């Protein structure tokens, strides 16, 4: 009987109450990743814009404008993961439920460790001098076109 209770708790950890519905915390298979990438639209550009606006007078305005677009994108990606309609998510799911779903999805799929391994693998492919100058050649000289021509 004790094992049965542990099994129930483990099974319950794979689901979340999401706007009154029980939704599975998904396993992110390669097929699911491909589907997510098909639906990513503006999130990478939003991140770049916010990072570029740091230390500028437009930073606060950029962040505020980006929040609405980011939320729309997160709702679309969550809809892909949950197989629920984006409109239903917007009308029925609280921000707490959305954050809990995303947190548990990241935890279940060990995304933090996967990101570390991905960064480490990318670091091994960097050419010498590439950390400071993305156009640097392996010998340290710049391959950027010069203005003296």
pLDDT tens over the chain, length 149 residues: 445 555 555 555 799 999 999 999 999 999 998 988 888 878 888 888 888 999 899 899 989 989 888 999 999 999 999 999 999 999 999 999 999 999 999 999 988 877 787 777 777 766 555 555 444 445 444 444 444 44
Total structural domains within the chain:
1
pTM listed for this prediction? 0.65
Q: Quick one: pLDDT at residue 136? A: 46
Cα of 12 vs its chain's centroid, Å: 24
Say if 140 falls within a structural domain: no
Containing domain of residue 87, as a range? 27-110
Q: Looking at the domain assignment, is residue 104 inside a domain?
A: yes
List the one residue out of 111, 112, 40, 103 whose CA is nearest residue 77.
Answer: 40
Distance CA 38, CA 71 (A): 17
Cα gap 110→82, rounded to integer Å: 18
For the chain, how many residues are written? 149
On whether residue 144 sits in a domain, the answer given is no
- Answer yes or no: is 40 within a domain: yes
To which residue do tokens 């001098």 refer? 129
């Amino acid at each position: 009987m004790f094992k049965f209770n542990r099994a129930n708790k483990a099974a319950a950890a794979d689901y979340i109450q999401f706007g009154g519905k029980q939704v599975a915390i998904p396993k992110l298979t390669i097929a699911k990743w491909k589907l997510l990438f098909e639906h990513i639209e503006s999130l990478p550009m939003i991140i770049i814009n916010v990072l570029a606006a740091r230390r500028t007078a437009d930073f606060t305005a950029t962040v505020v404008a980006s929040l609405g677009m980011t939320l729309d994108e997160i709702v679309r990606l969550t809809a892909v993961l949950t197989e629920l309609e984006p409109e239903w998510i917007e009308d029925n799911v609280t921000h707490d439920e959305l954050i809990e779903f995303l947190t548990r999805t990241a935890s279940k799929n060990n995304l933090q460790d996967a990101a570390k391994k991905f960064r480490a693998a990318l670091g091994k492919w960097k050419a010498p001098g590439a950390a400071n100058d993305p156009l640097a050649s392996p010998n340290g000289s710049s391959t950027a076109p010069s203005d003296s021509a």
